[in-house]
Amino acid sequence: MTNQQNSFDGYNGNSLVKKDGITHNYTQEEIQEYRKCMKDPAYFATTYAKIINLDKGLVPFDLYPYQEKMFKHFNENRFSVVLACRQSGKSISSVIYLLWYAIFHPEKTVAILANKGATAREMLSRVTLALENLPFFLQPGCRVLNKGSLEFSNNSRIIAAATSASSIRGQSVNLLFLDEFAFVENANQFYTATYPVISSGQETKVIITSTPNGVGNMFYKIWEGAVQQSNEFKSFRVDWWDVPGRDEAWKEMTIANTSEAQFAQEFSNEFVGSSSTLVSAEKLLGLKAKEPVETVVGRNIKMYERADIDHQYIMCVDVSKGRGQDYSTFTIFDITTRPFKQVCTFRDNKISPLLLPDVIVWAAKIYNEAIVVIESNDAGQVVCNGVYYDLEYENTFVESTVKAGGIGATMTKKTKRIGCSNLKDLIEQDALEIVDADTIQELSSFVPKGSSYEADKGCHDDMVMNLVMFGWFVSTDAFGNIDEIDLKKMLYTDREAMEDDMINFGFVSSNDDVNSEYRELARQLQEWKDL
């Protein structure tokens, strides 16, 4: 059952790929084989698929027992998430399944998305290689074959692209494959934008595969939800001992050539942070992200606890230039009780420093006129002046009334070192509760650089810098003095007036009038964004 070696039957001169419009006269044996393959993807893979072996070149795809189970898992579940160790064949297994799905399911769109477009296209090239080595009686006619797409005469197609919010927007995707999803930047935003597309159909399938890459990211969240059966995904796990030929001797040799930490993450499927993270890996594993109780429509503001009229709050702000790279962020902390609590976050990489003060003051007023501590470096000074002078928000931390530009806090090597040290102690001694997924993700990649700490390559640390600033601030006299005064008298004198202000600024409750005001505030925030 080899391919017809007739160039006239091949796609664009490729005699290994049957072009559209070629009629094949099936033998009885071919019909039987076609039916077997249609029914069982594992049979299709074992009998007809070929892959590239590093040592032997092109070889038949001899499935390991766990790979046969993986095919069955893909086929029986609509939403699959696979946690697999390195070099376990998860990617090639997925590739063969995608090809099988496109061949035997007419009028379907399969999307391969990876962290980089080049990676996704390389996955598609594996699909093409497998297609080229199928006998013609199994191949649908090919209409399009290029680096980014593969389209068949049965009106099914396979496309490849990088993960972004616009990757599959406006398209009807029947099977979405996300490779190494734990390493995708801005995975939360991508998944939020993509989920409506993949969930719209009743039979749409999703396959997510990855090795671990710290805690707090979207892959970790989906995997944990699947294990705990709190989401619609079904989990499948491949550990190093599942792969034939790997034993304790192999383990010891691999550790000797790498490290214990690297082996734990890449082969033992342990969700640990980057090596030598500021916060210990053990503690990072214990941080559990929560869903916000409210999200401000049109803005990246997440409320994890609503303001309590009797509580005291501090907001720490990190400012970017608003050019789509680093993020402007703030975190609001409840300091009333111990442990301190992260109760509200903001994260936006597009907002201008000129517009950020309005958002800061709005949120600070909701949280009982929270004390606002703004990093004054670079663009931060613009925000400091906007909050303190333009909007006349008096509860802004003033580093010095003597020096020019004394509004806010100047982040120096010394203050950052103090902040990092205190932050580590606060989290590891359970004195600070972190619940935001973006913050947890950034903590898992906040690593040593020279004599300081910063985000690992390809990661962000803007949310972590809120925590660092808070860690520094709790060591200052300004924070120590908070317990020595009656904050309720300092922040407000009229409870009724304060509650009215909270409503006016969109404080959320179940009351319809309040919700109406909240929607109006969301509309105003959207207008700011559109300016």
Question: Scanning the structure block, which residue is given the tokens 């003095």?
Answer: 481
CB atoms within 10 A of CB 150: 26
Flag whether pLDDT at 292 surpasses 90: yes
Tokens standing for 523?
A: 């509309």
The model's pTM: 0.61
Tokens standing for 323?
A: 């050019």
In the structure, what pLDDT confidence band is assigned to residue 170 with cuts at 50, 70 and 90?
low
HSE-CB for 327 with a 13 A CA cutoff: 23
Contact criterion met (CB below 8 Å) for 386 and 356? yes
The pLDDT value recorded for residue 117 is 80
The pLDDT value recorded for residue 97 is 96
Of residues 491 and 110, the one with the higher pLDDT is 110
The most confident of the ranges 7-21, 211-225, 422-436 is 422-436
pLDDT > 90 fraction of the chain, expressed in percent and rounded: 51
With vertex at residue 86, the alpha carbon angle to CA 91 and CA 66, rounded to the nearest 5 degrees, is 65
CATH class of 10-238: alpha beta
Taking the C-alpha atoms of residue 154 and residue 108, their distance in angstroms, rounded to an integer, is: 9
Close Cβ partners of 318 (under 8 Å, ≥ 6 residues apart) = 327, 328, 329, 330, 375, 380, 462, 463, 465, 466, 469
- Strands in 211-279 per DSSP E: 234-238
Contact criterion met (CB below 8 Å) for 131 and 139? yes
Active site residues: 180
Tokens standing for 35?
A: 């039916």
**What is the full DSSP assignment across 416-456?**
HHHHHHHHHHHHHTT-EE---HHHHHHHTTEEEETTEEEEP
Name the average pLDDT for the chain.
83
**Single-letter code of the amino acid located at 101:** Y
The pLDDT value recorded for residue 504 is 40
Residue 488 CA: distances (Å) to CA of 123, 296, 363, 392, 506:
60, 26, 18, 19, 21
CATH number of 285-530: 3.30.420.240
The pLDDT value recorded for residue 449 is 86
With vertex at residue 292, the alpha carbon angle to CA 291 and CA 295, rounded to the nearest 5 degrees, is 135
Q: Where are the domains of the chain?
A: 10-238, 285-530
* Nearest CA among 215, 213, 212 for reference residue 240: 212
pLDDT > 70 fraction of the chain, expressed in percent and rounded: 83
Flag whether pLDDT at 311 surpasses 60: yes
Flag whether pLDDT at 408 surpasses 80: yes
Taking the C-alpha atoms of residue 107 and residue 458, their distance in angstroms, rounded to an integer, is: 38
pLDDT tens digits for range 483-514: 554 433 333 333 343 334 433 433 333 334 43
End-to-end CA distance of the chain: 64
Of residues 514 and 383, the one with the higher pLDDT is 383
In the structure, what pLDDT confidence band is assigned to residue 9 with cuts at 50, 70 and 90?
low
Number of helices (H) and strands (E), helices first, in the chain? Answer: 19, 21
Taking the C-alpha atoms of residue 470 and residue 463, their distance in angstroms, rounded to an integer, is: 11
Contact criterion met (CB below 8 Å) for 461 and 442? yes
